[in-house]
Amino acid sequence: MFLKALISIILTPIVFVFNLSKPEIYTAPISTTSPIVNEKSTTTKPVVKKEKTTTTQKNIPKIKTVAKTELKSTTTKPVITPSQVENEPIPDFAIINTNARKTIVNIFCTTKYGELSPISGTGVIINSDGLILTNAHIAQYFLLKDFREKGYLNCVARTGSPAYPKYNLELVYISQNWVKANKGLLKDQNPKGTGEDDFAFLKITGMIDSSNLPTLSYIEPNTNENIRVSEPVLLASYPAGFLGGISIIQDLSLTSAVTNIQDVFTFKKDTIDVISVGGTVVSQKGSSGGLVVDKNTSLIGIITTSSDGNTTSSRGLNAITLAYINRTMESEMNMNLKKFLSIDHIVFAKNFETSKRIELTKLITDELLRQ
């Protein structure tokens, strides 16, 4: 079985499409008094169809070959017996939801003079120092901060419902492999990809109002590969698919939902690199970088790609796993996620700025300026 994972990216609001069974939906503001919800898991598995991908824009270099956009269903998929499911306690996703939502930020970028519409995506805080994990296709905009002139583009982190500006941000690291493979992505009106190498790290550097940083809530990353088909998970993000530019500025709400893992996939080996997650109202543009949380309130994946569809119910949502990100970091950065979490990210960001950022920025801007 094959799955083609798609990314819908535009330079107007970054909207990332992502399926609708009948999950429990949370759309209220963050609260410590959420009702108790007992979500029953389902063993029904949808048929994953092969998607056809095309682009109508001319003179755009191919981002991925057909071979690279196919994800093989992994052979490491665990077998779950009915007795295993029946004997497991039902997770309290109301509590999981309350805790997880405190760690989510809306990554919001604007340009000088309002030349472009607001750019919106999602990220998740993964340590107490304010390190944020998100997608490379969101973080690439940080490379364009001085595109036309100094301070041309400004990105901040917003929190709450509706989202309100709170933190200043800086780029710590963006996957170099992703940028090199997708340097022309911003010119494509209908870009495609698998989610391979699609990760980046940002850091909260201070409060927008110059007050002292509060104690930051964060979620523990889980890089273990014990992910099971049909297990319930929580999705949370800042979807913006049904909002216009002004509404994204004023009325963007944090949304979360409980659904089930439908399938697992691999890029190259018998590893769980991508999980297909049951669709919800989170399946909208803007949800890229949103979190996938397991029953232990640990982060097991971030939303990356989806198939095409006119409605949320027709869009297949996919997320790259923290296990995959961890393996990719070891090969690309020579350190795993645990090691990376322990280093001084301010120093690391400065070194990345001087050693790699200029090169990566040039790759993208050269493509943008090419006729």
3-state secondary structure the chain: CEEECECCCCCCCCCCCCCCCCCCEECCCCCCCCCCCECCCCCCCCCCCCCCCCCCCCCCCCCCCCHHHEEEECCCCCCCCHHHHHHCCCCEHHHHHHHHHCCEEEEEEEEHHHCCCCEEEEEEECCCCCEEEECHHHHHHHHHCCCCCCCCEEEEEEECCCCEEEEEEEEEEECHHHHHHCCCHHHCCCCCCCCCCCCEEEEEEEECCCCCCCCCCCCEECCCCCCCCCCEEEEEECCCCCCCHHHHHHHCCCEEEEEEEEEEEECCCCCCCEEEECCCCCCCCCCCCCEEECCCCEEEEEEEEECCCCCHHHCCEEEEEHHHHHHHHHHHHCCCHHHHHHCCHHHHHHHHHHHHHHHHHHHHHHHHHCC
Q: Assess whether pLDDT exceeds 70 at residue 197.
A: yes
Q: What are phi and psi of 166, to 5 degrees?
A: -135, -45
pLDDT tens string 292-324: 999 999 999 999 887 555 444 446 678 999 999
204 neighbors 130 (Cβ within 8 angstroms): yes
Q: Dihedral sign for Cα 176, 101, 297, 340, please.
A: positive
Q: What are phi and psi of 95, to 5 degrees?
A: -70, -45
Residue type, 64: K
pLDDT tens string 240-270: 654 455 656 766 878 888 888 988 999 988 8
Q: How confident is the model at residue 98 (pLDDT cuts 50, 70, 90)?
A: very high
Share of the chain above pLDDT 70, in %: 67
Range 22-36 average pLDDT: 30
pLDDT value at residue 52: 34
Domains of the chain, by residue range, sit at 2-52+70-369
Q: Assess whether pLDDT exceeds 80 at residue 365.
A: yes
pLDDT value at residue 281: 57
Residue positions counted in the chain: 371
108, with CB counted inside 10 A (0-12, 13-18, 19+), is buried
291 neighbors 124 (Cβ within 8 angstroms): yes
| Class at the top of the CATH hierarchy for domain 2-52+70-369 | mainly beta
**Nearest 10 degrees: Cα torsion 341, 155, 369, 358:** -40
pLDDT tens string 47-72: 333 333 333 333 322 222 222 333 44
70-73 vs 255-266, strand pairing mode: antiparallel
Tokens 């997770």 found at:
91
How far is it, in rounded angstroms, from Cα 70 to Cα 50? 9
Q: How confident is the model at residue 285 (pLDDT cuts 50, 70, 90)?
A: low
How far is it, in rounded angstroms, from Cα 84 to Cα 210? 52
Residue 289, sorted as left (phi over 0), alpha (psi -120 to 50) or beta, turns out to be: left
pLDDT tens string 135-153: 999 999 999 999 988 999 9
pLDDT tens string 161-175: 898 999 999 999 999
How far is it, in rounded angstroms, from Cα 247 to Cα 249? 5
Record the tokens describing residue 359, joined without a space.
């090169």
pLDDT value at residue 56: 32
Record the tokens describing residue 189, joined without a space.
């009106």
How far is it, in rounded angstroms, from Cα 341 to Cα 126? 8
104-111 vs 70-73, strand pairing mode: unpaired
Q: Assess whether pLDDT exceeds 60 at residue 282.
A: no
Residue type, 42: T
